[in-house]
Amino acid sequence: MAPELLAVTFRTPDPQRDAKFWGAVLDRRAETDRGGVVLAGGGGQVGLRFVAGPARGDKEPLLHLHLSEAGRSQNETIAACLRFGARLRGSGHVREGEIAYLSDVAGGDFCVIEGGNSYLAGAGPLGEVTCDGTRAVGQFWSRALGWPLVWEEGDETAIQSPAGGTKLAWSGDPVDPNTDRERQYFVLTVAATQLEPEVDRLITLGASDRAVGDRGDVTLRDPDGTAFVVRTTAG
């Protein structure tokens, strides 16, 4: 059985602050999670998790979030984000039919997608996690999670749970050397009895650099060399 994607984890100086912001934006309840704070997903929505770590430096982020229409318009979503502490980038004016670019309370970039976007129709409020990465890594994650490819154009890929919800997408480009590969990462969960078999399976799919942490969590790297964590549901 394929692992579950628990959350995208963000290292940040103030996990509680960031969880409060994103919990308000996405209407999710914050829960304690092994030294961090998690905003669990549900209904196909990907979870978000925040743990203590350094502030964003000069390096580029590996991924960012796309918010899409789900019960409120683009303008309503932008207004909510600003009310909770985000800021608009650029001129501060968003023309109809254009993507809005914002920064969250930690200075992290995210987008609010234009109204009527068919690609993210029905994906929910957290429509997409868009990542730097090659076509090979998109294919890897499709096999790793058992999520079908729902977009392939050139080297761009995107996958989505069979139940629908948030899409995970990759640009098709090699990860820039100036990208911070350590500040954002996926956390997968499996049953305790399946941890070793699942790690072995992921390695056969192309993961590498296995390392075991103090709590038994296993850190691996995907085919692009980006770290992710596999842990048991009991932990």
**Contact indicator for 47, 108 with CB cutoff of 8 Å:** no
CATH of the domain at 14: 3.10.180.10
Cα–Cα distance for residue pair 233/129, rounded to 1 Å: 23
Q: Are strands 109-112 and 63-67 parallel, antiparallel or unpaired?
A: parallel
Question: Does 1 score more than 60 pLDDT?
Answer: yes
The structure's pTM equals 0.95
**Full domain range(s) for residue 68:** 4-232
Residue 112 near residue 152 (C-beta atoms within 8 A)? no
What's the domain count of the chain? 1
- Residue 120 corresponds to which amino acid? L
Instruction: Name the CA dihedral angle for 56, 25, 17, 189, rounded to a multiple of 10 degrees.
Output: -80
Residues 40-49 pLDDT 10s: 998 899 999 9
CA nearest 66: which of 81, 52, 50, 51?
Answer: 81
CA distance 3 to 229: 11
What's the mean pLDDT when you consider all of the chain? 94
Convert the pLDDT of each residue in 6-30 to its tens digit. 999 999 999 999 999 999 999 999 9
